[in-house]
Structure 1
Amino acid sequence: MNKSKDIFITGFALFSMFFGAGNLILPPFLGFQAGEAWLLITIGFVITAVIIPILGIVAHARLQGTMYDFGKKVSPIFSVVYCFIVYGICLLLPGPRTASVTHEMAIAPFFNSSSLLTSSIYFILVFIFVMNRSKVLDLLGKYLTPIIIMILLAIIGIAIFASPGAVQPTRFSTPLVDGVLEGYQTFDAIAAMVVGAVLIISINLKNSSPAADKQQLIFKAGLLAGFGLFIIYTGLILIGALHNTEFPEDVSRSALLLGLGHKTLGTAGASLLSVLIALACFTTAVGIVTGTADYLKGLFHNSKTVYTITAIIGSLMGIVMGQFDVKYIIDVAIPALMFIYPITIILILLNVIPEKWASALVFKSVVITAFIFSIPDFLKILAPSEGLTSIINAIPLASYNLGWIIPSILMFMLLNMYRHFNPSNAS
């Protein structure tokens, strides 16, 4: 067995799983708004868009299971409900967002057609591919990602050396925090939970090495994938900042990426990029609907009827939500992400640390704490009020939408101190 080759192949597969086309439009716009504070924004963004997702893969390697296994220490019912919520969010937000990105980048610049027509045709095709499980998507994935990476690296390289020099001041008052929260919008931590099991199963089928060797393989491949994501995200944020004087203040995320493509590669290069991103969007959408349908099919004794019904519902949800522009979908996603991301991050971290520090009691208590203290973040967006503001002001970091962090850490520390001094009473 060629270990280096296995690490490279697995790392590239991981990178492809996280390299969602919708994510490409987020970093340049973040840099555009960050201006001179691009480095702080990048650090924050990398925490939630690279480090946490890769830790999610490491957790999968330890668990050797599915997303359900992440939360089973809290309770089986919690884990099932969590899985339903995550898959529901995937069908409602990142899946339809791929159609919206496709329309803005590959259809609207060339054709005067409605976004509803795009999302309808798009998700009818998604449904057909989901029902036929064609290997064409696997082949597209193998060749699409390397080509997109090469084009992006070319755009980044040329844009860095051809920048105008002047950079507008940042629009963020807390760039590090804003970077962390914008990283939520990549959905990469959720992606780690959803698709990580696919990677584990594939490795187990093809590799008969001991479990420890497989874990090392996944760990090193994760570092490689994380480094690749770091380079692309950092480069896109940087060029967004370096060129923020060349675009209007109200430029959209899609228009900014297309504009940078035009400035660096010309019309032909930008057009090729938009078509490739549209194809990559399509493979992502098919993967989301297929993964959700597979999960529900498994719950109902491998029922083909359940698989078909889920595919239909997922495609219809895609048509309805996919007609809206990217900005609208991103705005709609914020409350859902404020609700589900703290729990997701906690579950990933608790499944990565040594088991002696992550008992069932710790899982239950820390997850409940994170949930309770993330409620103000969730409500602040949906229904702001003076009473809620008073509560937020009393919770450390809550004004930055991160009020769950310190209480969760304190709960974790207190329970482990209690276990240390009372080992017979801790579970």
Structure 2
Amino acid sequence: MNKIKDILITGFALFSMFFGAGNLILPPFLGFNAGPDWFLVTIGFVITAVVIPILGIIAHAKLQGTMYDFGKKVSPIFSIIFCILVYAICIILPAPRTASVTHEMAIAPFFDTSGLLTSSIYFLLVFIFVMNRSKVLDLLGKYLTPIIIVILLAIIGVAIFLPAEAMLPSKLKTPVVDGLMEGYQTFDALAAMVVGAVLIISINLNSTQSFAEKRQLIFKAGLVAGFGLFVIYTGLILSGSVHNTEFPAHITRPELLLALGNKTLGSAGATLLSILIALACFTTAVGIITGTADYFKGLFNNSEQAYTLTAIIGSLLGVVMGQFEVGFIIDIAIPALMFIYPITIILILLNTLPDQWASSLVFRGVVITAFIFSIPDFLKILMPSDNLTAVIDVIPLGQFNLGWLIPSLVIFCFLNIFKYFNPSTAS
């Protein structure tokens, strides 16, 4: 019984770490645009927003180290650079997005103030909490997530069982691929590497279990968290689809979630949801900047100055970026995600495989291949051209922004066959 209790407690804690408020605005909008194709977009979204992140937790269960361990088989320098890039992306994009979501869902509907004022006050408070590491956040996280889940399940239940009389056709040409790409915007694959390391540290501080016992605990807790994410995401996508005739075509992601809350729970329920999501946004921002500051503190020999400077830079970036609309932040995140996500997915998948299939040679070859073939997708967003489109069209799945996938799989198979016949070439 104690083991089941530990699994559930750890699983719920892990779920709350993934449970970013920004993620909640993505699924309903995806369903809104998908209409009758909601099931297809759900498949794509679940792959990149649930399956890959939970595989990241399973990889952590195998490694039981830090984010650095994910890339060390490529090279120590690569792993350090990768970690810096991940943390930099997190404080530049998802952390400021929490301020933007807060403004659009909890401030703008009630007060006629600017996004800059909201982001300035918001990240001043974030900086204070990061520097003081207040236990208030732990209390908020402990009670906040269950309340939001109850409200969301109520919205989902009412929305599904009282659908609109009609449904608009899908606006998406490739629903599964659109779901995959929208799943990138949750940042959950990156979060898996970050929060998984936090989970390992927490378990090590509070447990005397063996390596194998901790591996089983993390593995099963990951499945619990994954099931929770699957239920919420699927329910929100379906809710957006069955009510897509009832809201204007130009509605934004935050507006849609609020509108669904208002329709199903009334204005009081929608208001409560917006306040709770604002608080959840705040805890997410503090967690991101604290984690980033901790990393750079460790990188510079536990320097408190490095921690403070990182917290200041992260908060200032939050003020600058957080004043923009959520849609704008989501759009400018696309190039960064096209660049970092293929490498992140490859590292997660390779670290879940048995060691005999994931030698250092395989790691280097597959990561380099994924990096090279993700460059066209990255450049296509920054500076589209006919010549670049022609190159992308030649690459298998290139037109779907997945040009890195087949080449990486081919190199993975080739290097493992090569290693099988030349066992002395790679460890």
Q: How do 1:18-417 and structure 2 match up within 5 A?
A: 18-417=18-417
CA deviation string 1:277-329 (max 9, x = no partner):
00000000000000000000001111111111100000000000000000000
The question of whether the paired residues in 1 share the 8 Å contact of 2:99 and 2:281 is answered with: yes
Structure 2 unaligned runs (5+)? none
CA deviation string 1:152-206 (max 9, x = no partner):
0000001111111311111111100110111000000000011111101111121
Question: What SS does the aligned partner of 1:205 have?
Answer: helix
Structure 2 residue identity aligned to 1:239: S
Structure 1 residue identity aligned to 2:175: P
* Structure 1: distance between partners of 2:253 and 2:140: 25
* Structure 2: distance between partners of 1:216 and 1:65: 15
The question of whether the paired residues in 2 share the 8 Å contact of 1:28 and 1:240 is answered with: yes
Q: Kindly state the Cα deviation for residue 425 of structure 1 after the two structures are TM-superposed.
A: 2.9
The question of whether the paired residues in 1 share the 8 Å contact of 2:167 and 2:243 is answered with: yes
Q: Kindly state the Cα deviation for residue 386 of structure 1 after the two structures are TM-superposed.
A: 1.4
Q: Kindly state the Cα deviation for residue 424 of structure 1 after the two structures are TM-superposed.
A: 2.5
The question of whether the paired residues in 2 share the 8 Å contact of 1:49 and 1:183 is answered with: yes
Q: Kindly state the Cα deviation for residue 61 of structure 1 after the two structures are TM-superposed.
A: 1.2
Structure 1 residue identity aligned to 2:425: N
* Structure 2: distance between partners of 1:190 and 1:335: 15
Structure 1 residue identity aligned to 2:83: C
* Structure 2: distance between partners of 1:209 and 1:227: 25
* Structure 2: distance between partners of 1:231 and 1:149: 10
The question of whether the paired residues in 2 share the 8 Å contact of 1:351 and 1:358 is answered with: yes
Question: What SS does the aligned partner of 1:424 have?
Answer: helix
How many residue pairs get aligned? The number is 427
* Structure 2: distance between partners of 1:14 and 1:261: 25
Q: Kindly state the Cα deviation for residue 64 of structure 1 after the two structures are TM-superposed.
A: 1.1
CA deviation string 1:98-150 (max 9, x = no partner):
00000000000000000000000000000000000001000100000000000
Structure 2 residue identity aligned to 1:211: F
- Give aligned-pair identity as a percent: 76
The question of whether the paired residues in 1 share the 8 Å contact of 2:96 and 2:285 is answered with: yes
Question: What SS does the aligned partner of 2:424 have?
Answer: coil
The question of whether the paired residues in 1 share the 8 Å contact of 2:360 and 2:426 is answered with: no
The question of whether the paired residues in 2 share the 8 Å contact of 1:418 and 1:426 is answered with: no
Q: Kindly state the Cα deviation for residue 213 of structure 1 after the two structures are TM-superposed.
A: 1.1
Structure 2 residue identity aligned to 1:24: L
Q: Kindly state the Cα deviation for residue 426 of structure 1 after the two structures are TM-superposed.
A: 3.4
Structure 2 residue identity aligned to 1:270: A
The question of whether the paired residues in 2 share the 8 Å contact of 1:392 and 1:399 is answered with: yes
Structure 2 residue identity aligned to 1:257: L
Structure 1 residue identity aligned to 2:372: I
What value does the CA root-mean-square deviation take over the aligned residues? 0.7
Question: What SS does the aligned partner of 1:223 have?
Answer: helix
Q: Kindly state the Cα deviation for residue 409 of structure 1 after the two structures are TM-superposed.
A: 0.2
* Structure 2: distance between partners of 1:203 and 1:312: 30
* Structure 1: distance between partners of 2:210 and 2:288: 31
* Structure 2: distance between partners of 1:182 and 1:100: 18
Question: What SS does the aligned partner of 2:25 have?
Answer: helix
The question of whether the paired residues in 1 share the 8 Å contact of 2:115 and 2:323 is answered with: yes
CA deviation string 1:240-266 (max 9, x = no partner):
000000001000000000000000000
The question of whether the paired residues in 2 share the 8 Å contact of 1:54 and 1:222 is answered with: yes
* Structure 1: distance between partners of 2:30 and 2:273: 20
The aligned counterpart of 1:425 is 425
